[in-house]
Structures are given as structure tokens and as C-alpha cells.
Amino acid sequence: MITMPQLFRAKVRRVGTSLGVLIPKELAEKQRIKEGEVVEVGLLKENRLKLIEKAFGIAKGAEPFERERRDRI
């Protein structure tokens, strides 16, 4: 089963000599992530995330698209 990636904000924390990010419980449950499982993680710094939110936020509140002509695909 392929699931869509979800963005969430997390604070980077020190874990021993490494850095770590905690996955929120609600997201882990929704995605059925279990301890020891391997997951893919993408990184966006906050300024890049704001640019993405701004770009995709333009269409917020837009009405659903309806075709004017049914003879076109």
C-alpha cells in the first residue's frame, strides 16, 4: 500500500552523539508506523517549508473546477 507523504514540524533533538526527530503519535498511528520499522524521511528547513505553504496556499478556498464544455477531455 502506497501512502501520501505528510509534512509535520518537529524539533531536532540530540540523541547521544546523533540528532533525532520524533514522529508525532497521531501520525505514527495513522501511518501504522511500528518501532524498528524503516521509513523514508525528507528534510525541509523552515524557510523552504514556508515557501511551499505559500505556493500551495494560493488555491485555498477556490471552488471545485467544472468543465465548460463536455466535448473536450
Is the residue at 41 inside a domain?
Answer: no
Q: With respect to residue 20, please indicate whether it lies within any of the assigned structural domains.
A: yes
In this prediction, residue 59 carries a pLDDT of 61
pTM: 0.51
Domain total for the chain? 1
Confirm whether 39 is domain-assigned.
no
What is the per-residue burial (b if ≥16 Cβ within 10 Å, else e) of 37-69? eeeeeeeeeeeeeeeeeeeeeeeeeeeeeeeee
If you average pLDDT over residues 6-27, what whole number do you get? 88
Residue 63 belongs to some domain of the structure: no
**Of 16 and 69, which is predicted with more confidence?**
16
Averaged pLDDT for residues 47-61 = 65
Q: How confident is the model at residue 68 (pLDDT cuts 50, 70, 90)?
A: confident
Domain containing residue 15: 1-34
- Domain annotation covers residue 19: yes
Residue 56 located in a structural domain: no
